[in-house]
Chains A and B, each alone.
Chain A
Amino acid sequence: MFSAYLDFIRIRFLMMLAYRVNYYSGILIYTLNIGVYYFTWQAIYGSQQTLGGFTVDQMTTYVAVSWMARAFYFNNLDREIANDIRDGSVAIQFIRPYNYVFVKMMQGLGEGLFRLLLFMGPGMIIACILFPVKLPTDPAAWTAFLFMLLMSFLINSQINIFTGLLSFFVENNEGMMRMKRVLVDLFSGVIVPISLFPGWLSGIMKFLPFQAITFLPSSVFTGRIQGTGIWQVLGIQLLWFAILILPIFLMWRSARHRLFVQGG
């Protein structure tokens, strides 16, 4: 059974590879995104040396690393699930001896690996050449980051799956999915690091799962969080992962009873 789940990763990977134009434009888009934020921050800094404890170089690196992370954790699982539910093809998922949520997770992982290796790898190399990005050289930092990246993926996918499953309960899930996307991009710290938020807002953020997706791992990787703080970040990630299992489990269970297969 496990090998079947692994196969879902592989097949999603192959499917992504099948669309070549998508692939090449993807690399370009990721490099452009880093570039756009680099120049934006340059303009914001102006003649200032630091902003919210970030130097210009640190900020550049933070932006690059955050986008690298985003390449891996980002997926459209919410949309895929919502579509499956809306057009009724979720019925097919129920006649297979596997867990639909796990399968979706695996497909997301396949997509994430694809983006990480084939979009972000080349994109990052280009970004390192063009902009002053300073990546750590300590292998321990890389190891910790890769593990945190996996946790980012899990937490973000859980939020996506949760949003997608809402389609079982609301007529049109489009609004929810848009809201989620904006929330995640804004509050995870991809666009603006959370330490630059006003005090009250960054206070609220401490009680939400979003910062565990980008801000915390990127802070560790850029060296802003060190020592025991690293373990704390890991703890927060693991905690959110565990907390988010519960609503998904409950939703999935009650969805089984609410399922109304559309289109006959």
Chain B
Amino acid sequence: MLAIDVKDLRKEFNVQKNREGVKGAMLDLFRREYNKVRAVKDISFQIPKGEICGYIGENGAGKSTTIKMLTGILVPTSGDIRVNGYVPYQEREKFVRGIGVVFGQRSQLWWDIGVIESFQLLRKVYRVPEAEFKKRLDELVERLQLQDLLNRPVRKLSLGQRMRCELVASLLHNPSILFLDEPTIGLDIVVKTEIREFLKQMNQRYETTILLTTHDLQDIEALCSRVIMLDDGRIIYDGGLDELKAKWGKGREVQFQFAAPFQLEQLEFLTAGLEVAWSVENEYTAKVWIPLEVNVSDVLSRVVGTTEITDIKIIETNTDDIVREIYKSGSAEESKLHLLGEEKVSNV
């Protein structure tokens, strides 16, 4: 069963154009000009029930806009969305009963009242029966260790404490889909780990479908089996994390530490015939970059037998590097297209 089904989804915004100078400002008073900006450009994807999917992209790539359309906050310009069987913006009140949402940068708790008061209010808003509410709350409170926080007003919580409360608030009505928009932003590593663990467990126990946007790729590595990568409103990658690494990770690097000062020419001579590139770190240390087609062991066997080595380190390209690489190449490739598109739109 599909939890989320999106087809040719598009969102355009009218952005006000401010003309220059006093004259421009006066003209703006009478007739405003608008630029149409297309934030999400005809994307399609499907997420089956029970999956944890990461939704990544640079700032302004259209992640939040997509999430806002999926949660019924924004009305799409065109395209079809089905979430949980509903068209989010049409039957909003019914639809939102089945989803939970956490915005890392906005609180959904009431600022001036105690945490438990907020939870009680949400219980009534979502019409959760008292007994079920108590059971769920107890479980969540214990799991996220909120016992001491329940009576404090939200404004007196630290960011980490608040974030855990936000999670509880989004889960009290037992939603089958959870949307997380940068849930770990600004949190320390301990809280981050705790939240990741918690989400994983939620997903396993209740088959909660989770869609999360993040800039922290460790969130993705810890949680997601699948990644959707967005650039300039388009999906540029949709698939497993491992394939992403395999496809974009271009090679590995091996760092050698030698017992005695070495000669670069000698090392290059040893690996002659293999397409590798050496670089000198210092007198005793050298790095070799090995493309995917070449076996690391081939390089090692040629170097290790002939020189005395005190340390070897193999460095794999990490996801951060890969993603940075994709962002860079992705936008470089499409910047021309992007400009053409803008022009066309503003003529409409």
Contact = CB atoms under 8 A, between A and B. Distances in A.
B96 A95 contact: yes
A257 B72 CA distance: 11
B16 A171 contact: yes
Given A11-B113, A11-B117, A94 B124 contact: no
Given A15-B112, A98-B93, A260-B13, A4 B103 contact: no
B74 interface: yes
B124 A97 contact: no
Interface string A143-156: 00000000000000
B68 interface: yes
Contacts of A98: 93, 125
Contact of A94 (B64, B73, B97, B121): B73
B25 interface: no
Contact of B108 (A92, A257, A259): A92
A11 B75 CA distance: 31
B99 interface: yes
Contacts of B89: 256
A91 B99 contact: no
Contact of A91 (B73, B75, B97, B120): B73
Contacts of B126: 97
B68 A91 contact: yes
Contacts of A7: 120-121, 124
A4 B68 contact: no
Interface residues of A, number: 27
B125 A95 contact: no
B106 A89 contact: yes
A91 B121 CA distance: 18
Contacts of B16: 171
B95 to A, nearest CB: 8
A11 B110 contact: yes
Interface in A230-264: 256-257, 259-261, 263-264
Nearest to B182: A264
A4 B121 contact: yes
A11 B307 CA distance: 76
Contacts, number: 69
A3 interface: yes
Contacts of B134: none
A1 interface: yes
B224 interface: no
A162 B89 CA distance: 22
A1 B96 contact: no
B335 interface: no
B241 to A, nearest CB: 25
Interface in B107-152: 107-108, 110, 112-113, 117, 120-121, 124-127
Interface string B166-186: 000000000000000000000
Contacts of A4: 121, 124-125, 127
Interface in B57-73: 64, 68, 71-73
Contacts of A261: 64, 68, 73-74
A97 B107 CA distance: 17
A97 B101 contact: no
A94 B92 contact: yes
A261 B69 CA distance: 11
Interface residues of B, number: 33
Contacts of B73: 91, 94-95, 259, 261
A201 interface: no
A264 B215 CA distance: 14
B13 A95 contact: no
B220 to A, nearest CB: 19
B113 A15 contact: yes
A256 B75 contact: yes
B99 A97 contact: no
Interface string B83-106: 000000100111011010101011
A91 B113 contact: no
A260 B74 CA distance: 8
B120 to A, nearest CB: 8
A105 B27 CA distance: 38
Given A4-B121, A96-B125, A259 B75 contact: yes
A97 B121 contact: no
Interface in A88-114: 88-89, 91-92, 94-99
A89 B72 CA distance: 14
A1 B113 contact: no
Given A97-B96, A171-B16, A88 B106 contact: yes
B124 A3 contact: yes
Interface string A43-70: 0000000000000000000000000000
Nearest to B112: A15
13 contacts: A14-B113, A88-B106, A89-B106, A91-B68, A94-B96, A95-B99, A95-B108, A97-B93, A97-B126, A171-B16, A256-B89, A260-B14, A261-B73
9 A-B pairs with the lowest CB-CB distances in the bound complex, closest first: A4-B124, A94-B73, A4-B125, A97-B93, A95-B101, A15-B112, A92-B108, A91-B73, A97-B96
Interface of A: 1, 3-4, 7-8, 11, 14-15, 18, 88-89, 91-92, 94-99, 171, 256-257, 259-261, 263-264
Given A94-B73, A95-B72, A256-B75, 13 more contacts: A1-B125, A3-B124, A4-B127, A11-B117, A14-B113, A88-B106, A89-B106, A91-B106, A94-B71, A94-B72, A97-B125, A98-B93, A264-B64
